């Protein structure tokens, strides 16, 4: 599971998400990108038959262990870490709910607006297209393929990058 989380985290740190996608290159921005990528994988795992549900919890555990280590390495005191983790947990699950509702909405603009509120004002349209493409690609994977595939997410491209190519 650590390897799967590593691939998710790596995808969430792709420079194009921050440069062309407009996600701020800050702790908060990196958290938003990680939450987006985690959401997509967790959504796919939820669609798959057992034991995918158990894998979801293991992936969440790996993610939160990573975030906690980041706080500790960043100098957050042992006393403050649990408070920060509680806040991060609330933010993470809030994002998952918001993105789930946005994906379920019949209007594509709902996802764009959700992304504008949470991740990127300038790049929300391109990010929405990227997330929809990633959802389609992840939808073709079973649990075994999800655990093994190296490149889980498509390359992030803005419309300008596509037209310049």
Answer yes or no: pTM beyond 0.85.
Answer: yes
The 8-class DSSP code of residue 14 comes to -
Distance between CA 111 and CA 104 in Å, rounded?
9
DSSP character for 155? P
| Segments making up each domain of the chain, as ranges | 2-151
pLDDT tens string for the chain (165 positions)? 889 999 999 999 999 999 999 999 999 999 999 999 999 999 999 999 998 988 999 999 999 999 999 999 999 999 999 999 999 999 999 999 999 999 999 999 999 999 999 999 999 999 999 999 999 999 999 999 999 999 999 999 764 443 333
Per-residue model confidence (pLDDT) at position 164: 35
């Amino acid at each position: 599971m650590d390897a799967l989380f590593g691939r998710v985290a790596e995808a969430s740190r792709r420079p194009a998400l921050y440069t062309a996608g407009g996600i701020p290159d800050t702790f908060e921005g990196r958290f938003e990108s990680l939450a987006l990528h985690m959401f997509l994988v967790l959504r796919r795992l939820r669609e798959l038959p057992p034991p995918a549900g158990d894998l979801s919890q293991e992936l969440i555990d790996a993610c939160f262990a990573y975030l906690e280590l980041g706080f500790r390495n960043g100098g957050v005191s042992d006393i403050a870490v649990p408070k920060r983790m509680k806040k991060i947990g609330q933010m993470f699950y809030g994002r998952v709910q918001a993105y789930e509702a946005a994906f379920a909405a019949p209007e594509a603009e709902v996802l764009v607006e959700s992304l504008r509120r949470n991740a990127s004002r300038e790049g929300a349209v391109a990010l929405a297209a990227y997330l929809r493409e990633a959802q389609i690609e992840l939808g073709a994977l079973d649990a075994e393929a999800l655990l093994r595939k190296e490149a889980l997410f498509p390359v992030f491209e803005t419309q300008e990058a596509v037209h310049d190519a």
